[in-house]
Amino acid sequence: MKKIFYSILICLAAVSFHSCEIDNYDEPQETIKGRVVDAVTGELVLTDQGSEGTRVRLRELSWKETKVPDNFDFFCMKEGIFQNTKVFRGHYNVRIDGAFIPLVRLTSTGDTIADESKYIDIKGVTEVEFKVQPFLKVEWIGTPTVSNGKITATVKVTRAVSPADFKAKIEPMGGYNDNMLNVTDVRLFVSQLPYVGYREWDNRYTTEINYSGNSFDAQLGQPITITTKGVIPAGRTVFIRAAARINYATENIKRHNYNQFIRVDVPN
Amino acid sequence: MKLKYFLFTILAFGNMVMSCKDYLDIPPMNVVQDKDLFSDATGMTVYLSRMYSQMPFEDFKYSPARQFFDDWLVTPGANSGESLGRDAGTAMTSEGYSRNGAYWGRAFNLLRDANRLLETLPEYKANFSDVDYKHFIGEAYFARGMVFYALAKRYGGVPLVTSVLKYPEVPAAQLEIPRATEEETWNQVLADFDLAIANLSATSPKRGYANKYVAYSFKSEAMLFAGSVAKYNKITGFGDKTGVRVIGFDANNAIAASKKYYKEAYNAAREVMKSGKYSLYKKKWSATDKEAQYQNMVDMFFDVSSSENIYIKEYKYPDLTHGYDAYNIPRQLMGGNGYSAGNCPTLDFVEMFDGFAKNADGTIKVFDENGKYLMFDKVTDIFANAEPRLRAYVIFPGDVFKGEVIEIRRGIFTGDASNGISPLRIVNGGNPDYTVSGPSNYNQVDAYKATGAFAGKKSLFLSQNGTTHETVALPGGITMNAGGKSGPFTSDATAAMTGFAVRKWLNPNMPQSLLLEARSEQHFVLMRYAEILLNAAEAASELMLAGEQAPSGDNFQQIAFDAIKDIRERAGAVPLVSANDVSGQAGLELIRKERKKELAFENKTLWDIRRWRTQHSEMLNGYTQADGAYYKGLYPFYSSTTGKYFFDAGLDEGRRRFRLTEQEYYFLIPGGEVSKSPLIDQQPGR
């Protein structure tokens, strides 16, 4: 009886080894590092960290086993840089989409007008820099102040791309109207984490100001003072960040442009 | 040795048999053959049974989280604002992977059966009468229309498989079909429903089969969807692999397409109306008796012979059952599987109706002019005059169900009430805070924690769950549990967590011993006449806004007005003033609101707010779902010093957050399908 039992066990063990085949590919070891900078000023384009931020899409063109390579997506860090250290060696198309003029522009029938994405070999540590035209630029004015658990900050929103340039680039894509340039909302995001943004905000304190039509145009370049909602408990540390967006979606998402986050300690 | 010879002998004879091909070449006896299936109308029932078992019906076996053919935790309405459910998803962005796989894969099984019927039945035409033959062809088109409709509203453009794919005769690689454009897909839906209408009999030859008017009805629903997408959708793009516009409409063509689809929706609904076969259910209705109006609307969902039913899905124990009662029964009547209260109506839903005091902004009035709670002698007083339709859909605190008073009470307030009671949601002596920053649970407020104005005197008592209660000794010597028998409780959501329980669909005659999963057998009304009226009204309103002319003999405004007037009259709602109520954008909003009220908990509202593209943008208590939004509850409290009740209205204690981004109006195509196919495109941009 025991013999049968053991022989069954051995059989099972033998079968279980069946799948233990050594992988036919080496572990991906190449690194791609990138920066997304404003074509005019050379400053990094700050972004949210998540699906409403700047998305990086790699497509391995040297991969021939499927007709169309799968999309390999990841997201920019909030500073406007990205890095992936586990990429297979090969020839790639790298495109990014964010709150800036799309690099790949198609007509309404799907024909390519412009393709400013990069076609590169990724090998070792490969660095790329994308020069883009962000829709808006958001800046702090002065230092935020705290009183009674409310933070008051002043920001300035300006256009980083001129309406004429925007129109020249976007109109050929079809369906253009001037309302696309309208600033729809300005927000002061609050979070307990430095990764503050659209995907990480505390809706008890975060303030949102909506603008209808082109009503914001008069305030472009003017200081806008925003105060947080609710009362942040004394002694708490929060991170704040302002963002604004226009009425135009890239890859079907209306994305915000951001400024640099600031740490605020609410005094005891 | 003997064995060896024996084996050789067997081998030898065996080899001889191998060559005798002819008489062994017979079809397998255990597989039903086409000639048997397509022999007559009876044989066809076998074929159609299989098709109907795969139909994408959104009934008691459908939930947004798990999609079709799954009766676990079915709580219609819990994803679209009518209600909150402990086990339901929130905004429904899930494609239903969890148990059944997305509908994508399953759709093609039924498409194959339908296409096979269309291609094979002509060979056996002689076996059928002309009427039967046409009807069965119509059934195939109806099934195909339903499948393409179910796919289009989820995915946009899909592969239009309109013939049987011959595999393995043709290699799989040659059978790949790319996704069509969204517009082509809706046109296919339209064409299939039209062919179904042309072929189906005017009455169903067998209970459960479709007929011409069933097809008209679903056509009107589908075309309303198509028209709305063409008009309101903002997201579009091209597939990576094919360059085809797989979602959205070409901006140059969208307006024309939307008008075309709205016209189709209108005309289809009008055909059903003109047939005179259906009417609003009014068996027990009386113009003067609110109680009769209420009972009439409860009964209509259980009456198989209702003149309002256009198409129903029947269930029968033990063959085909569901568990609606077990999952949604009020807590105090809970059955043996331990489920209850899966579908708790929101205050936002209740506030759409008439018959109780409201503030200027349409919210329920719970405070007097001094900011103190309104006090009610009986817990039922606040909704005593509520619209009968609402009472038929929702169980209010203190309502009777199955002969039992449903006790819904959040807690007992023992503090002084001689100068009125101040709002409860106060922390550390601050101001009342009913925003999202305020206390989320009543165990955080001053009255409960004996802080702030209540320092040293705990004045609010709550129940932890259904078995752990704080108690209060009442003046008469009675001890009262803080929470009601049906909740809401501090940390147990199997109770009326919004302060309401659902009444719609709950079988009022089911003994508690049978309140089990897979034990309910009431039918689901998939299509009823009220929806046809609402479809006609909405399409008419959209066509008026688009500046279109009504077909001769019709007046858009009159049709829309009569439809809404009749529905409101049957519901016992406040009558409309004049036909002007349905004009313009305001009229469209009114028609939409009426639709949300009438068709609540019927798996319709979620698709409505998705096709209107308002799910992400509608303002809900200060937030949109794009940013993450919350619904409200109404929490009843008993004041022990006065013996009266008061109600606290505010955001749901559980703070269930509904979030949806615009691109999620189109479900993702299952990743595996995209990876393995050289042609199937993922949604653009994702």
State the CATH number of the domain containing residue B280. 1.25.40.390
A205 located within any domain: yes
∠ CA B23-B25-B28, rounded to 5°: 120
Q: Are residues A61 and A152 in the same domain?
A: no
Q: Are residues A142 and A121 in the same domain?
A: no
Is the Cβ pair B685, A251 closer than 8 Å? Answer: yes
CB of A193 within 8 Å of a chain B CB? The answer is: no
Per the document, the length of chain A is 268
A189 located within any domain: yes
Give the C-alpha separation, A158 to B85, whole Å.
45
Q: Which of A113, A249, A51, A70 is nearest to B236 (CA)?
A: A249
Average pLDDT on B375-380 reads: 97
Tell me the CA distances in angstroms from A65 to A71, A74, A95, B241, B406, one per residue in order.
14, 23, 22, 15, 64
pLDDT at B287 over 80: yes
Name every residue whose Cβ is closer than 8 Å to that of residue B191 and which is 6 or more positions away in sequence: none
Give the C-alpha separation, A204 to B567, whole Å.
41
Is the Cβ pair B627, A251 closer than 8 Å? Answer: no
Q: In angstroms, what separates the C-alpha of B104 from chain A's closest C-alpha?
A: 19
Name every residue whose Cβ is closer than 8 Å to that of residue B574 and which is 6 or more positions away in sequence: B354, B387, B568
B171 located within any domain: yes
Average pLDDT on B115-144 reads: 96
Tell me the CA distances in angstroms from B645 to B141, B391, B473, one per residue in order.
57, 20, 17
Any idea what DSSP says for residue A111? -
Q: How confident is the model at residue A238 (pLDDT cuts 50, 70, 90)?
A: very high
- pLDDT at residue B105 in the model: 86
Q: Is B3 helix (H, G, I), strand (E, B) or coil?
A: helix
Tell me the CA distances in angstroms from B368 to B371, B460, B640, one per residue in order.
5, 21, 20
Chain A hits for B628, Cβ within 8 Å: 203
pLDDT digits (tens, 9 = 90+) for B183-224: 999 999 999 999 999 999 999 999 999 999 999 999 999 999
Count CB neighbours of B247 within 10 A. Answer: 27
Give the C-alpha separation, B489 to B491, whole Å.
6
Closest partner CB to A68 (pick from B240, B251, B430): B240
B230 located within any domain: yes
Give the C-alpha separation, B97 to B472, whole Å.
47
Is the Cβ pair B235, A108 closer than 8 Å? Answer: no
Best of B93, B179, B183, B238 to substitute, by most chain A Cβ atoms within 10 angstroms, is B238
- pLDDT at residue B290 in the model: 96
CA of A230: which chain B residue's CA is closest? B437
Q: Which of A132, A163, A182 is a domain's end point?
A: A132
Chain B residues 95-134 with a CB less than 8 Å from chain A: none
Give the C-alpha separation, B492 to B488, whole Å.
8
Count CB neighbours of A124 within 10 A. Answer: 9
Q: How many domains does chain B have?
A: 1
Angle between helical axes of B130-155 and B212-232 (0-180°, round to 10): 20
A1 located within any domain: no
Q: Are residues A123 and A146 in the same domain?
A: no
Chain A hits for B238, Cβ within 8 Å: 106, 110
Q: How confident is the model at residue B26 (pLDDT cuts 50, 70, 90)?
A: confident
Q: Which of A65, A98, A132 is a domain's end point?
A: A132
A97 located within any domain: yes
Q: How confident is the model at residue B676 (pLDDT cuts 50, 70, 90)?
A: confident
Is the Cβ pair A252, B237 closer than 8 Å? Answer: yes
- pLDDT at residue A2 in the model: 62
Map tokens 């024909």 to a residue: A111
pLDDT digits (tens, 9 = 90+) for A145-162: 999 999 999 999 999 999
Separate counts of helices (H) and strands (E) for chain B: 19, 14
pLDDT digits (tens, 9 = 90+) for B322-340: 999 999 999 999 999 999 9
Give the C-alpha separation, B182 to B685, whole Å.
16
Is the Cβ pair B628, A203 closer than 8 Å? Answer: yes
Any idea what DSSP says for residue B76? T
pLDDT at A27 over 90: no
Q: Which of B421, B415, B384 is nearest to B399 (CA)?
A: B384
Is the Cβ pair A51, B682 closer than 8 Å? Answer: no
Tell me the CA distances in angstroms from B498 to B347, B391, B528, B638, one per residue in order.
7, 16, 29, 16
Q: How confident is the model at residue B93 (pLDDT cuts 50, 70, 90)?
A: low
| Structural domain boundaries enclosing B191 | 37-311
Q: Tokens in use for A203?
A: 């809706």
* ipTM surpasses cut 0.85: no
Q: Longest Cα pair distance anywhere in chain B, in angstroms?
A: 110
Give the C-alpha separation, B49 to B42, whole Å.
11
Average pLDDT on A113-125 reads: 95
- pLDDT at residue A23 in the model: 72
Is the Cβ pair A110, B437 closer than 8 Å? Answer: no
Q: In angstroms, what separates the C-alpha of A251 from chain B's closest C-alpha?
A: 5
* Terminal-to-terminal C-alpha distance of chain B: 72
Average pLDDT on B425-447 reads: 94
CATH number at residue A45: 2.60.40.1120
Q: Are residues A128 and A152 in the same domain?
A: no
Q: In angstroms, what separates the C-alpha of B236 from chain A's closest C-alpha?
A: 7
Torsion, CA B74, CA B80, CA B81, CA B85, rounded to 10: 30
Q: How confident is the model at residue A12 (pLDDT cuts 50, 70, 90)?
A: low
Is the Cβ pair B437, A97 closer than 8 Å? Answer: no
Name every residue whose Cβ is closer than 8 Å to that of residue A23 and which is 6 or more positions away in sequence: none
Q: In angstroms, what separates the C-alpha of B679 from chain A's closest C-alpha?
A: 9
Closest partner CB to B663 (pick from A67, A204, A253): A253
CB of B235 within 8 Å of a chain A CB? The answer is: yes
pLDDT, mean over chain B = 93
Q: Are residues A155 and A256 in the same domain?
A: yes
B425: Cα separation from own chain's centroid: 34
pLDDT digits (tens, 9 = 90+) for B536-594: 999 999 999 999 999 999 999 999 999 999 999 999 999 999 999 999 999 999 999 99
Is the Cβ pair B251, A70 closer than 8 Å? Answer: no
Q: How confident is the model at residue A239 (pLDDT cuts 50, 70, 90)?
A: very high
- pLDDT at residue B215 in the model: 98
Contact B641, B459 (CB under 8 A): no
pLDDT digits (tens, 9 = 90+) for B381-418: 999 999 999 999 999 999 999 999 999 999 999 999 99
Contact A145, A151 (CB under 8 A): yes
Best of A51, A57, A191, A252 to substitute, by most chain B Cβ atoms within 10 angstroms, is A252
Q: In angstroms, what separates the C-alpha of A9 from chain B's closest C-alpha?
A: 32
B168 located within any domain: yes
pLDDT at B19 over 60: no
Contact B74, B63 (CB under 8 A): yes
pLDDT digits (tens, 9 = 90+) for A78-102: 999 999 999 999 999 999 999 999 9
Average pLDDT on B619-634 reads: 93
| Structural domain boundaries enclosing A187 | 136-265
A216 located within any domain: yes
Give the C-alpha separation, A141 to B270, whole Å.
62
pLDDT at B94 over 70: no
Give the C-alpha separation, B59 to B76, whole Å.
9
Q: Are residues A228 and A248 in the same domain?
A: yes
pLDDT at A139 over 80: yes
A-B contacts at Cβ under 8 angstroms: 60
Chain A hits for B430, Cβ within 8 Å: 231
Q: Which of B301, B312, B320, B298 is nearest to B519 (CA)?
A: B320
Any idea what DSSP says for residue B174? G
Chain B hits for A97, Cβ within 8 Å: 685
Is the Cβ pair A249, B437 closer than 8 Å? Answer: no
CA of A229: which chain B residue's CA is closest? B437
Q: Are residues A152 and A41 in the same domain?
A: no
Q: H or E segment at A92? A: strand A90-97
Q: Tokens in use for B567?
A: 């529905």
Q: Indicate if the alpha-carbon torsion angle B190, B531, B110, B153 is positive or negative.
A: positive
- Edge to edge, what strands does the sheet with A136-147 contain? A136-147, A150-159, A223-227
Is the Cβ pair A249, B675 closer than 8 Å? Answer: no
Q: Indicate if the alpha-carbon torsion angle B455, B457, B460, B463 is positive or negative.
A: positive
B447 located within any domain: no
Give the C-alpha separation, B306 to B296, whole Å.
11
Count CB neighbours of B48 within 10 A. Answer: 21
Give the C-alpha separation, A192 to B642, whole Å.
44
CB of A252 within 8 Å of a chain B CB? The answer is: yes
Name every residue whose Cβ is closer than 8 Å to that of residue B555 and which is 6 or more positions away in sequence: none
Q: How many domains does chain A have?
A: 2
Give the C-alpha separation, B449 to B343, whole Å.
30
Percent of chain A with pLDDT over 90: 80
Map tokens 């042609």 to a residue: B679
Q: Which of A132, A161, A188 is a domain's end point?
A: A132
CB of B435 within 8 Å of a chain A CB? The answer is: yes
Phi first, then psi: what are they for B234, rounded to 5°? -115, -10
- pLDDT at residue B89 in the model: 65
Give the C-alpha separation, B88 to B66, whole Å.
10
A16 located within any domain: no
CB of B675 within 8 Å of a chain A CB? The answer is: yes
∠ CA B333-B336-B337, rounded to 5°: 110
Average pLDDT on A110-138 reads: 95
- pLDDT at residue A14 in the model: 57
Per the document, the length of chain B is 686
B246 located within any domain: yes
CB of B628 within 8 Å of a chain A CB? The answer is: yes
B279 located within any domain: yes
B509 located within any domain: no
Map tokens 């509520």 to a residue: B386
pLDDT at A124 over 90: yes
A237 located within any domain: yes
Give the C-alpha separation, A162 to A246, whole Å.
13
Q: Which amino acid is at B354?
A: D
> Picking from B72-86, B108-122, B301-315, B323-337, which range would have the lowest pLDDT averaged per residue?
B72-86
Chain A hits for B241, Cβ within 8 Å: 67-68
Q: H or E segment at B389? A: helix B388-393
pLDDT at B85 over 70: yes
B147: Cα separation from own chain's centroid: 17
Give the C-alpha separation, B42 to B194, whole Å.
26
Contact B499, B408 (CB under 8 A): yes
CA of B623: which chain A residue's CA is closest? A203
CATH number at residue A208: 2.60.40.2060
User: Which residues are registered as beta bridge partners of B277?
Assistant: none
Q: How confident is the model at residue B117 (pLDDT cuts 50, 70, 90)?
A: very high
CA R_g for chain A: 24
Q: How confident is the model at residue B27 (pLDDT cuts 50, 70, 90)?
A: confident
Q: Are residues A255 and A140 in the same domain?
A: yes
Residue A226 — left, alpha, or beta (φ > 0 → left; ψ -120 to 50 → alpha)? beta
Average pLDDT on B84-90 reads: 78
Q: Is B354 helix (H, G, I), strand (E, B) or coil?
A: coil
Count CB neighbours of A9 within 10 A. Answer: 10
User: Which residues are registered as beta bridge partners of B682?
Assistant: none
Could you tell me whether strands B632-639 and B524-528 are parallel, antiparallel, or unpaired per DSSP bridges?
A: unpaired
Q: H or E segment at B560? A: helix B556-571
Is the Cβ pair A252, B685 closer than 8 Å? Answer: yes
pLDDT digits (tens, 9 = 90+) for B477-508: 899 999 999 999 999 989 999 999 999 999 99
Name every residue whose Cβ is closer than 8 Å to that of residue B22 and which is 6 or more positions away in sequence: none
Average pLDDT on A36-44 reads: 96
Percent of chain B with pLDDT over 90: 83
CB of A174 within 8 Å of a chain B CB? The answer is: yes
A2 located within any domain: no
Average pLDDT on A231-238 reads: 93
Q: Which of B74, B89, B262, B40 is nearest to B656 (CA)?
A: B89
Q: In angstroms, what separates the C-alpha of B225 from chain A's closest C-alpha?
A: 21
Q: How confident is the model at residue B320 (pLDDT cuts 50, 70, 90)?
A: very high
Q: Tokens in use for B243?
A: 């360059």
Contact B197, B141 (CB under 8 A): no
Percent of chain B with pLDDT over 70: 95
